[in-house]
């Protein structure tokens, strides 16, 4: 029976925790792995799409991340959270995408910039009014950061990971993560003040 | 978290000095309270980004992702199944080709092929004279039946080496 058919069918077992599912998947249980994909693909997609700045491409990255996860299940250490392990694979792939597709990203940024101009010219922005616009600000300012800074900032500040979890995910020390975030904040503060004064309280438009 | 606690903890949040649960509460309040968000962004404009809503993928998108991952896994398994035996057969074929080629080279490099009982060279012969005038190998041919012919080559200079070919008569040139 196919994975999808099993998901739709009635022979699905009860809920199991991630480690048990990963153990079953290592034994060849594709349905167990599909449950892990169902559980974690949405969150991983949100983080990856913020890191690479492209929602559609982010799904490709997420799918490849889960394929790699399946291929490397024997390397998964159950002492780790499965989600953290998958975020590690997905974040590394996202960083590779940023590094290897710079020209494509430049084109994407140009499009985003154009859309932003359209939005800010016609709608007065405010901090509380339309927070969908905040995502557009993110799309504009995050590409200024280095791939490592971007991954650390997204995971820590947007996804709410602990500093130690971020360190596990991107493979560095917590001190390095703090340094990445400190540098990222400095750059982003400047970018927001320069390009989006209308989002600041009181609309500090220079 | 109430608004008062939020404002008290803002500096600690920015400096990454809050406990995990306090950080989580701070973020939730930042996303949900407009007036506190304004105060936070006034203190640090980057907190505008931290207030971005957590979007969620639709059930349809997740289901599509599950399907694609399942397909990728099946494709990967198929590729592994196909590639494994192919490598085995290729390795076996390569071994046969190399050994046959080596045997033929050795055979064709012999200037004279005699039938049986060639005399052994003297034990004291020098390496140079050996290369210039190699002794002929001993060749024995048997026909054990079943359209087979067995060639056995024994190098008189090296008593440890014997090469045996089993050839189908119908395939001989």
Candidates A67, A76, A74; CA nearest to A18 is A76
Identify the pLDDT of residue A34: 94
Q: Residues A58-83: pLDDT tens digits?
A: 999 999 999 999 999 999 998 888 99
Asked if A59's CB is within 8 angstroms of B65's CB, the reply is yes
Q: Give the gap in angstroms from C-alpha B74 to the nearest C-alpha of chain A.
A: 10
Residue to substitute from A33, A65, A127, interface B, most B β-carbons within 10 A: A127
CA distances from A179 to A96, A118, A124, A175, B49 (A): 21, 35, 35, 6, 18
Ranges A3-12, A36-45, B154-163: which has the least confidence: A3-12
Q: How many Å apart are CA B49 and CA A187, to the nearest integer?
A: 13
Q: How many Å apart are CA A111 and CA A56, to the nearest integer?
A: 15
Nearest CA in chain B to A199: B48
Asked if B53's CB is within 8 angstroms of A178's CB, the reply is no
Give the DSSP letter of residue A78: T
CB atoms within 10 A of CB A113: 14
Identify the pLDDT of residue A23: 92
Q: Domain ranges for chain B, please list them.
A: 3-50, 57-109, 113-173
Residues of chain B in contact with residue A4, where contact means CB-CB under 8 angstroms, are 63, 66-67, 70
Of residues A7, A38, A199, nearest to B48 (C-beta): A199
Q: How many Å apart are CA A118 and CA A115, to the nearest integer?
A: 5
Identify the pLDDT of residue B2: 86
Identify the pLDDT of residue B84: 64
Identify the pLDDT of residue B24: 85
More confident residue, B81 or A48: A48
> End-to-end CA distance of chain B, in Å?
94
More confident residue, A105 or A161: A161
Q: What residues does B154 pair with on adjacent strands? A: B138, B162
CA distances from B27 to A86, A152, B4, B8 (A): 24, 17, 14, 14
Q: What percentage of residues in chain A have a pLDDT greater than 90?
A: 43
Q: Give the gap in angstroms from C-alpha A96 to the nearest C-alpha of chain B.
A: 20
Q: How many Å apart are CA A94 and CA A84, to the nearest integer?
A: 15
Of residues B27, B49, B53, nearest to A188 (C-beta): B49
Q: Residues A111-138: pLDDT tens digits?
A: 555 444 444 443 434 444 355 677 778 8
pLDDT digit string (tens) for chain B, length 173 residues:
789 888 889 888 888 788 888 888 888 898 888 888 888 888 888 888 887 777 778 889 999 999 999 999 988 888 887 766 666 677 778 888 888 888 888 887 766 555 554 555 555 545 554 556 666 777 778 777 767 777 777 766 666 667 777 777 776 65
Residue to substitute from B57, B60, B75, interface A, most A β-carbons within 10 A: B57
Asked if B42's CB is within 8 angstroms of A3's CB, the reply is no
More confident residue, A104 or A88: A88
Judge contact between A201 and A127, C-beta under 8 A. Answer: yes
**In the numeric block, which tokens belong to residue A198?**
């209308």
Candidates A139, A134, A133; CA nearest to A113 is A139
Q: Quick one: pLDDT band at residue A174, thresholds 50, 70, 90?
A: very high
More confident residue, A148 or B85: A148
Sign of the four-CA dihedral A128, A134, A136, A140: positive
Ranges A7-16, A147-156, B72-81, B91-100: which has the least confidence: A7-16
Residue to substitute from B46, B47, B80, interface A, most A β-carbons within 10 A: B46
Residue to substitute from B21, B69, B77, B79, interface A, most A β-carbons within 10 A: B69
Q: Quick one: pLDDT band at residue A176, thresholds 50, 70, 90?
A: very high
Quote ipTM for the complex: 0.73
Residues of chain A in contact with residue B44, where contact means CB-CB under 8 angstroms, are 185, 189
CA distances from B96 to A48, B39, B126 (A): 51, 80, 35
Is the pLDDT at A6 greater than 60? The verdict is no
Identify the pLDDT of residue B64: 92
More confident residue, A103 or B129: A103
Asked if A131's CB is within 8 angstroms of B51's CB, the reply is yes
Q: How many Å apart are CA A95 and CA A187, to the nearest integer?
A: 19
Q: How many Å apart are CA A146 and CA A186, to the nearest integer?
A: 13
Q: Give the gap in angstroms from C-alpha B60 to the nearest C-alpha of chain A.
A: 11
Is the pLDDT at A5 greater than 90? The verdict is no
Asked if A45's CB is within 8 angstroms of B66's CB, the reply is no
Of residues B54, B55, B70, nearest to A3 (C-beta): B70
Residues of chain B in contact with residue A59, where contact means CB-CB under 8 angstroms, are 61, 64-65
Residue with tokens 């509380």: A128
Residue with tokens 């494509």: A104
Q: What is the mean pLDDT of chain A?
A: 79
**In the numeric block, which tokens belong to residue A22?**
């990963």
Nearest CA in chain B to A129: B34
Is the pLDDT at A90 greater than 80? The verdict is yes
- Delineate the domains of chain A, giving CATH numbers in brackets: 1-100 (1.10.1740.10), 103-206 (1.10.10.10)
Q: Give the gap in angstroms from C-alpha A9 to the nearest C-alpha of chain B.
A: 14
Q: How many Å apart are CA A176 and CA A163, to the nearest integer?
A: 10
Is the pLDDT at A22 greater than 60? The verdict is yes
Is the pLDDT at A88 greater than 90? The verdict is yes
Identify the pLDDT of residue A187: 92
- B59: alpha, beta or left? (left if phi > 0; alpha if psi -120 to 50): alpha
């Amino acid at each position: 029976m196919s994975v999808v058919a099993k998901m739709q069918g009635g022979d699905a077992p009860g809920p199991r925790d991630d480690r048990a599912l990963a153990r079953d998947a290592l034994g060849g249980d594709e349905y167990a792995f599909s449950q892990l994909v169902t559980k974690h693909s949405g969150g991983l997609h949100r983080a990856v799409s913020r890191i690479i700045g492209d929602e559609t491409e982010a799904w490709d990255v997420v799918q490849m991340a889960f394929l790699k996860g399946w291929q490397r299940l024997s390397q998964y250490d159950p002492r780790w959270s499965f989600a953290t392990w998958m975020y590690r694979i997905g974040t590394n792939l996202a960083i590779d995408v940023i590094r290897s597709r710079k020209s494509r990203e430049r084109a994407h940024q140009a499009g985003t910039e154009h859309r932003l101009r359209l939005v800010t010219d016609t709608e007065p922005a405010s901090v509380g009014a339309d927070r969908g616009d905040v995502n557009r600000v993110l799309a504009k300012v995050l590409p200024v950061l280095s791939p490592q800074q971007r991954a650390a900032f997204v995971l820590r500040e947007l996804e709410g990971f602990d500093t130690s979890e971020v360190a596990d995910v991107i493979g560095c020390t917590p001190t390095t993560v703090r340094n990445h975030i400190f540098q990222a904040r400095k750059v982003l503060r400047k970018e927001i003040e320069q390009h989006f004064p209308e989002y600041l309280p009181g609309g500090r438009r220079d | 978290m109430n608004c008062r606690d939020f404002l008290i903890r803002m500096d600690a949040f920015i400096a990454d000095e809050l406990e995990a649960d306090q950080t989580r509460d701070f973020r939730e309040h930042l996303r949900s309270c407009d007036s506190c968000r304004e105060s936070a962004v006034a203190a640090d404009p980057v907190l505008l980004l931290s207030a971005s809503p957590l979007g969620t993928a639709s059930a349809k998108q997740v289901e599509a992702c599950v399907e694609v991952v399942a397909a990728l896994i099946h494709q990967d398994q198929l590729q592994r199944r196909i590639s494994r035996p192919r490598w085995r057969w290729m390795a076996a074929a390569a071994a046969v080709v190399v050994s046959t080629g080596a045997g033929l080279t050795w055979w064709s490099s012999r200037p004279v092929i005699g039938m049986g009982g060639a005399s052994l060279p003297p034990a004291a012969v020098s390496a140079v004279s050996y290369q210039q005038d190699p002794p002929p190998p001993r060749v024995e041919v048997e026909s054990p039946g079943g359209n087979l012919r067995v060639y056995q080559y024994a190098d008189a200079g090296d008593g440890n080496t014997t090469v045996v070919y089993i050839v189908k008569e119908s395939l001989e040139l």
